[in-house]
Structure 1
Amino acid sequence: MKKDVKRKRIVFLIGSMRRGGAERVISILANHYAKINWDVDILTLLDSKNDYKLDNRVNVISIAEEGKSRAKQLPTWLTAIRKYISINKPDRVVSFIARINIITLLSCIGLKQKVLISERNDPRADGRSPIIALATRILYPLAGRVVFQTQWAKECFSKRIQQKSLIIPNPINVELETLKPSKKKEIIAVGRLVEQKNHRLLIRAFKVVHDKFPQYKLYIYGEGHLREELTGLIKELEMEQFVFLPGQISNIHQKMAESEMFVLSSNYEGLSNALLEAMSIGLPVVSTDCAGSNELIRDGENGLIVSKESEKKLVDAISHLITDEILREKVSSGAIADSKNFRKEVVLKQWVNTIESL
């Protein structure tokens, strides 16, 4: 009689499973491990929301005490994570985002647990407090592996941390065969309506572009606390008929396929999923010179890159793509070729090899 083989277990830790780059990567990894018959749990610290299609064998477990401040929830998080690990003894613990990484590593002290953590933004620009920055430097060496999205993010940390780290980019999962390209005189941007994305710069730059090319419209997809302010700016510039904030939509890839170009105006990024998706679709892209983009974009070859917060340079780049069809075709071809390195199956293999080699 065969002895039952104990199923392997993996747990992912994140704030929530709302839409975002880290959350999307977790959804892909969780579904993969469920498919190969691991027990899969996702612990969420902030709320129980989930915006992703997960295998029905994936358990999303909220340990949030909604309504309480994060500071007041900290003891609960530490206790709940430690209790979960002590009882379930997962084969792998995978944590995303600096604050969650810190809490996870603190919870695992003394448990001899295999922990992999991942940084998901620009560590020098994402607004983390000095306490958080110090905690990452003290605690990250306790992890078995540290995953970064870019060389820049990796170099923000000590040699000791870098020695146990590697770079894995974001996976893109665009079903190209289902898209119906119909290039309209539209420019598209995708990103939360927050300071980081600097949509003010894009809206102001587009006003100048529109004065020269009045047939064009701008669509900025995403939600955030700056909606009212950005709506006011659009009204102030008298651009209500030409600049639109449609919110979050489910068919964003189709909207990209219908557009003439994609623009990323961010002050900083980890590595923009939307930028990678636009490139895989073959959209000519313009991006500010932020971390991630400046390692991905070869100016004039697979996109255009401009200085952060330079309205004139952003206007010039957009205008250049509008007027130069040969350049549009060149950067489009370059973008499609380079985006193959970010396909879901390629990046998933890197993650799986990293997780299972711990």
Structure 2
Amino acid sequence: MAGITGARITIIVSALGAGGTEHVVSLVASHWARLGCTVTVITLEAPTSEPYYRLDPRVTIERLDVPVQKAGKLRAAWLVARRLYRLRSTISRTRPDFVLSFLTRTNVLTLLATRGLRLPVIVSERNNPAVQPFGPFWKWLQLRLYPRAFALVTMTKGALDYFPPNVRRSSRVIANAINLPDGWQKKRGNNVLTAVGRLTEQKGFDLLLEAFAKVASDHPEWKLVIWGEGEARKALEAQRNALGLADRVEMPGVTAKPGLWVETADLFVLSSRYEGWGIALLEAMAAGLPVVSFACEWGPTDMIANGDDGILVENGDINALAEALSNLMGDETLRARLAANAEANVRRYDAEHILSQWDAVALAAREHTAGDKTEILRRAPLRLDA
């Protein structure tokens, strides 16, 4: 988009590891760099951290070396103050036309750090704001500070509707974009049921293990592979073993390259208790996989037309999930029909279309900045000795 060519853009995210938000940051930052913008990504990570997703080499990464960590109240307060100081200093040094921030706590820090800088700040929520656990203090700050943002971006209307009118007055709903790995190949046919996500309570892999255990003996040719890493690994491994699934369930960690799990999957399942979107579900559909998902808020019900291009089951219903998985594992014709429809129907989320929506938000922010500068010049006193 010609209107943002040459813009100076600063993007703020806590880290650049494996995850849906980090995926979007890499996609948007690289896109704007290719358009000729000066793009800086600021993270809270240590200087030695490496991004999981590839960024355009023209994108500059600034690591503040104040990573998120567990700490007592006094140390936590000190860390927040340190993050604010380093964040404000770095934002000022990058001289952006506007700032784009991702995730609740980082959004709050960014709005605090930019007070008085006359910068448009776009904040983006990437989860279900009604249920994600970030504590009453952060929630209080969120609702007080978000009205000061230039714009709020969510991935679904359901997430946007959570916020009060004074926050929604300048808002956009922008879904995640399809971004499958370059050169990927189908290496399917080994009856692999696949799940992907951080090993956390939110992703509901404990529910998935229970559901798979109910039908595993009916489908001895199938195995379950859960890709991802997180704090729930030990608990999930113990549950798997207690269910007698040690030889039927693999948990190999994070793929060596982003998204490569689509190559070997034959059936995809999303078992999350709640979602902001569910980018792995979108990738599975785009890669021509049959999918089963809990109808959790928000995301899956936006993507899946139940019975046409995937199967939705009542959120948290383990028996319903087990039945849906069993039906699909036992019906190759049904899998093929759902997969073909899924691949066709999710083309509305192609990268070009989604990135154009980000361009529109960026252009509005840049024009706002230009308007502010014009107003400042207009109000400046006339100097006859210049």
TM-score (norm 1): 0.93
For the residue of structure 1 that corresponds to 2:172, the secondary structure is: strand
- Measure, in 2, the Cα distance between the counterparts of 1:233 and 1:307: 23
- The Cα of 1:159 is off from its aligned counterpart by 1.6
One-letter code aligned to 1:133: K
Q: Percent identity?
A: 35
| Contiguous gaps of at least 5 residues in structure 2 | 366-386
For the residue of structure 1 that corresponds to 2:78, the secondary structure is: helix
Contact 1:191 1:221 survives alignment (8 Å) = yes
Residue 81 of structure 2 corresponds to residue 110 of structure 1 = no
Contact 2:303 2:346 survives alignment (8 Å) = no
Corresponding residue of 1:305: 312
- Measure, in 2, the Cα distance between the counterparts of 1:274 and 1:47: 27
- Measure, in 2, the Cα distance between the counterparts of 1:86 and 1:240: 53
Corresponding residue of 1:36: 35
- Measure, in 2, the Cα distance between the counterparts of 1:24 and 1:125: 22
- Measure, in 1, the Cα distance between the counterparts of 2:334 and 2:40: 47
Corresponding residue of 1:188: 194
One-letter code aligned to 2:56: D
- The Cα of 1:33 is off from its aligned counterpart by 2.2
Corresponding residue of 2:355: 348
CA deviation digits over 1:272-301, x for unaligned, max 9? 111000000111111112111122222111
- Measure, in 2, the Cα distance between the counterparts of 1:101 and 1:353: 20
- Measure, in 2, the Cα distance between the counterparts of 1:315 and 1:277: 22
RMSD: 1.9
For the residue of structure 1 that corresponds to 2:245, the secondary structure is: coil
- Measure, in 1, the Cα distance between the counterparts of 2:264 and 2:66: 42
Corresponding residue of 1:292: 299
For the residue of structure 2 that corresponds to 1:178, the secondary structure is: coil
Corresponding residue of 2:167: 161
- The Cα of 1:46 is off from its aligned counterpart by 4.0
Residue 324 of structure 2 corresponds to residue 317 of structure 1 = yes
Match of 1:333 among 319, 324, 340: 340
Corresponding residue of 1:126: 132
Residue 54 of structure 2 corresponds to residue 47 of structure 1 = no
- Measure, in 1, the Cα distance between the counterparts of 2:156 and 2:261: 28
- The Cα of 1:255 is off from its aligned counterpart by 3.5
CA deviation digits over 1:54-81, x for unaligned, max 9? 2222221112335775432111222222
One-letter code aligned to 1:121: N
- Measure, in 2, the Cα distance between the counterparts of 1:317 and 1:243: 18
Which 10-residue stretch deviates more, 147-156 or 124-133?
Answer: 124-133
1:192–1:175 Cα change, 3 Å = closer
Corresponding residue of 1:12: 11
Contact 2:181 2:260 survives alignment (8 Å) = no
1:70–1:58 Cα change, 3 Å = farther
Contact 2:293 2:312 survives alignment (8 Å) = yes
Corresponding residue of 1:250: 256
For the residue of structure 1 that corresponds to 2:326, the secondary structure is: helix
Corresponding residue of 1:84: 90
How many residues are treated as equivalent by the alignment?
Answer: 353
- Measure, in 2, the Cα distance between the counterparts of 1:216 and 1:252: 24
Which 10-residue stretch deviates more, 68-77 or 86-95?
Answer: 68-77
- Measure, in 2, the Cα distance between the counterparts of 1:123 and 1:82: 26
TM-score (norm 2): 0.86
- Measure, in 2, the Cα distance between the counterparts of 1:257 and 1:88: 40
- The Cα of 1:201 is off from its aligned counterpart by 1.0
